[in-house]
Amino acid sequence: MKLVFAGAIGGWELILIFAVILLLFGARKLPELARGLGQAIREFRKASREVADEITATPPDTGEPNSVQKKPGEAQKNS
């Protein structure tokens, strides 16, 4: 089976989508909708940036339970 909508959205499709949105919401609501969409995109980017920063800032796991970082050259004591 062939996928009918496999291509990218073209100019006529964008105009049709914009016309349908204009008919549904009216000209007065479009700026409010665009503003809300812009704020949502900003919040999403901010949250994803914070998560990425947390991931990169997490110290590596040493594998020791309740590990205390030992200084180089400090010998392990076996009693």
- Residue 70 binned pLDDT confidence (cut-offs 50, 70, 90): low
* pTM for this predicted structure: 0.48
Q: 33 near 25, Cβ under 8 Å? A: yes
Separation CA 46–CA 31 (nearest Å): 22
Q: 17 near 8, Cβ under 8 Å? A: no
pLDDT tens for 8-37 read 888 889 889 988 988 888 888 888 988 999
Given this model, what pLDDT does residue 78 score? Answer: 53
Given this model, what pLDDT does residue 62 score? Answer: 63
- Residue 71 binned pLDDT confidence (cut-offs 50, 70, 90): low
Pair of tokens at residue 10: 């073209």
